[in-house]
Amino acid sequence: MLADVPTLLITDDDSCFRETLQALFEPRGFRTLQAGDGAEALKIVRTESIHLVLLDLHMPRLGGLEALRGVKSFKSMLPCIVMSAGLDPETIAEIREAQAYSVLPKPVTRDEITSSVAAAMWDAYGWRLPEQGPGFRDA
């Protein structure tokens, strides 16, 4: 049985961007947690019940690609969305090989991020965002 409230981990070294995403997703029914780098994100994923991870690619200590690989090594089914400015085809290929759910170029629009999160929540859990139906629920 899945939790009534899905938890989204927002991982980015830009605290303003994290807060913007928090303000975007909490009214849509998410509990949000924040991490300032990949090392902090891995610690949170190991200790909290997380349903989806948003990862910036370029962060201090541990970047998004390394964090993605770490998450997938012990929670292989956890959907992760990677975001970055200046993506090149080789980097995108590495991210996909590491099993990211999707890759979004920065700057990301509200529609792009909410659509990607909605698709990941539907594919992984059969949950719909509230504006798509009656709210999060088991399929």
Q: What is the pLDDT of residue 103?
A: 96
Give, for 52, the enclosing helix (H) or strand (E).
strand 52-56
Domains of the chain, start order: 7-132 (3.40.50.2300)
**By three-state DSSP, how is residue 125 classified?**
helix
In this structure, the strands spanning 7-11 and 52-56 are parallel
- pTM for this entry: 0.90
- pLDDT tens profile 48-98: 999 999 999 999 889 999 999 999 999 999 999 999 998 899 999 999 999
